[in-house]
């Protein structure tokens, strides 16, 4: 079993806690599903949010879907001029048998433009 990193991002339409929870839950579910993972395969998850998001912590969405015993941390993205607004990103460390080139990085909706080279 190897330790792998999985990337992902989603753009929110508005800065509201309920909307953030829905979109981050969708992102986490897609990361797990597309990589054949369960919550037991998660080692840790780093979340970042752009500086224009204030309504809640992205990690709260992970707790809402039962990711309870996995270390989570939230941080703020750099405030770069011209960057895509209202984006939550994640970097999940997982245990998996997938080789690096088979890991599915998940960029939902408009966030796919952030990493056209790896978005699936």
Q: Catalytic residues, which ones?
A: 7, 63, 74, 77, 89, 107, 115
Angle at 57 between CA 103 and CA 31, to 5 degrees: 15
On the CB side of 106, CA atoms within 13 Å amount to 20
User: Nearest CA to 88 among 65, 104, 66, 107?
Assistant: 107
**Dihedral, 91, 106, 89, 14 alpha carbons, nearest 10:** -160
């Amino acid at each position: 079993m190897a330790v792998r990193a999985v990337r992902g991002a989603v753009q929110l339409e508005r800065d509201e806690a309920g909307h953030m929870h829905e979109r981050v839950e969708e992102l986490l579910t897609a990361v797990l599903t597309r990589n054949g993972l369960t919550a037991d395969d998660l080692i840790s998850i780093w979340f970042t949010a752009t500086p224009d998001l204030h309504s809640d912590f992205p990690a709260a969405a992970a707790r809402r879907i039962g990711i309870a015993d996995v270390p989570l941390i939230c941080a703020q993205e750099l405030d770069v001029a011209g960057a895509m607004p209202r984006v939550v990103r994640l970097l999940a460390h997982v245990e998996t048998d997938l080789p690096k080139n088979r890991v599915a990085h998940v960029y939902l909706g408009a966030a796919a433009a952030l990493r056209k080279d790896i978005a699936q």
